[in-house]
Amino acid sequence: MSAESRTIAAWVPVMRPSGAFIPVLFLPGGDICYEFYAFLRQPAMRGRSGTWQNTHARAVGLLYDFYAATRGSDRLPRLDHANALVSDFIEALLYGTLQPDGSDPTGLHWDPISPDRTCGLLQAVRRFCAFLEDESSLVKLDPAVTNRVTSLRDDFAKAMRRRHSILAHLKAAQDSTANYTFMPFERLLSQGRGNGRPIPFPKRVEAAFFAKGMLGRRQRNRIRGVCPHVVRDMLFFLLLAYGGLRKSEPLHLYLQDIVPDPDQPGSALVFLYHPESGFVHGEAVRRSEYLRTRYQLVPRNRLALADPLFSGWKSMLLSEETRLTGPRTRVYWRNPQAGRLFWELHRIYIQAIRPKHTKHPYYFVSLSGQVVGRPMTIDSVDDAFRRALARMDLVPDASIGLSPHCLRHLYAQELVDAGLSPPFIQICLHHTSLASQAVYTRPLPSRVAEVLSRAAEKIDRGELNFDAASLGITWKSDPLGIFSTTAPEFRSPELSSLGPSAVAEDLHE
């Protein structure tokens, strides 16, 4: 299937909210997929992030392409019911459409994708199908919707009937009334999503990242003996590594959001506001209105995902609120020295580096070429990070912690290792849910290996009656009595009648 015969997503502006963009799907014949447009414009879906919308546009586009490539084809099994369509779509995502000999009867030429990505796409498809099933919510925007789209809508609606839906296993866990239809690859789909652990930036290279990766940059126009890019990039990555921010969040900061900390003289106090509804520090006006009236701009999270100035915004716990400032939160430095360093660099940045007059209020700006003074972009952040790693003879690799977001994971891991309680960690990471930070308590493989090694050493020395806490773990129960020569704190009822020899025999069977 050529590029011209595939569904294409294009970001277009919408009237409400003003300045916002949404993805519109164009079918191969040039028709608009009105069902998907209606799906995004329903009240429950408005205000979703650009990344969320893009994922759903991609998922639905792939589904339409698969339908067009396979329905009614003599070279493929006929789709006798809609469940077969969805099942075949899942298999096409997981295993690709190429045959062992290199041929592809569908013409799609899809490569296999991971179960994790497949599950994400299927969640998006499920939401779209649920929307189609609800006839009352389907907005008839154009009576001339093509027969193919109408037929596809009907097929998808059938596929979402609760008793027969092959996607039923993706419904919420509390939906105990659903009759699940198990797929042969259901375990493969569910094996990885949500079970991983955030990988932190390597602690062993943390100091070198700032000392060599950041300060190692050389440039002619140095200010106070320091390269301007170094000052800006140091400020940015201090917020990630020592303030725990996501890489998109500093791009929403205004000049007014950084003030001296009255409780920590010589340290910076950085406030965070919602990019749309948050107040402007020192002015009784919301940010969306402030941008519109003063700069003729819209918040960066409203821009099209393809716009270079787009910057996402994830839900954040705004734990402070006053009558003058509205809801907000602040950056909590995991090292007080980081707050003092940030303030010193901030003063240099404002006085000698950042242009005095800009056509926007954003704190971080570009410092190169013809875009000097424009808001800093996500691409600039990634480029600065890549260059810093290159000075250390490293390359970005999120799988080993070498990505900007992994600096936030390092921040979280340091809080966990310091023994902070979950409510404190929640506030520091600005999580809206207390459960969100629980994933950081899962031990890394290196930590598991270390604990097991120390336990084995004690067993080899005959120290069988040792306290598990001496290994650095908090496990207080040994139901089988493996690590204790005395009675365990808790014994399984099924094993209560068995002696030690019987338990040993069971373990070695």
Q: What is the pLDDT of residues 35-46, one digit of tens each?
A: 888 888 887 787
**Rounded to the nearest 5°, which phi and psi values hold at 34?**
-65, -30
Nearest to 250 by CA among 233, 262, 263, 267: 233
Whole-number pLDDT of residue 37: 85
pLDDT at 164: 36
Separation of alpha carbons 370 and 367, rounded Å: 9
Helix or strand run (H / E) with residue 228: helix 228-241
Three-state DSSP state, 9: strand
**CATH number for the 203-429 domain, one of 1.10.10, 1.10.443, 3.40.50, 2.120.10?**
1.10.443
Dump pLDDT digits (tens) for 316-361: 889 888 877 889 999 999 999 999 999 999 999 999 999 999 999 9
- Rounded-to-integer distance, Cα 281 and Cα 287, Å: 10
Cis peptide leading into residue 17 (ω within 30°): yes
> In the chain, which stretches have pLDDT less than 50?
72-80, 135-150, 159-183, 192-194, 475-509
Domain ranges of the chain: 3-190, 203-429, 451-508
Amino acid 154: pLDDT: 53
CA distance 439 to 434: 11
- pLDDT at position 195 is 52
